[in-house]
Amino acid sequence: MAEDVRMTIHFTDNSSLSLIFPRVAESDTLSSRIESLLKNQYLLLEVEDSVMMFPFHNVKYIQTQPAPDPLPPNIIRGARIQD
């Protein structure tokens, strides 16, 4: 069984929301959705039989684990957070 994806949305007010969802099918990868998501003004998620809309102007950044495979070609690989 494929590993679930963990997503944390970090908002501009310094709050955050963590979600878990099933990994998407190989033919519909998360990385293929990233470009499409960035063209829209909202991140749309189906969560427990409801739809949540997050305006991107309120989002500081989104972190997903594990990283999608394949990654978009323009990504910088191998970065580490330095304290």
pLDDT of residue 27: 52
The string of DSSP letters for 5-19 reads EEEEEEETTS-EEEE
Cis, peptide link before residue 70, omega less than 30° from 0: yes
Q: Which CATH number fits domain 5-65: 3.30.460, 2.60.40, 2.30.30, 1.10.150?
A: 2.30.30
Global model pTM greater than 0.85: no
* The token pair that represents 71 in the structure block: 């990654």
What does the domain layout of the chain look like in residue ranges?
A: 5-65
Q: How confident is the model at residue 1 (pLDDT cuts 50, 70, 90)?
A: low
* The token pair that represents 49 in the structure block: 């039989």
The model's pLDDT over 42-83, given as tens digits with 9 standing for 90+, comes to 888 999 999 999 999 999 999 989 887 777 788 888 899 998
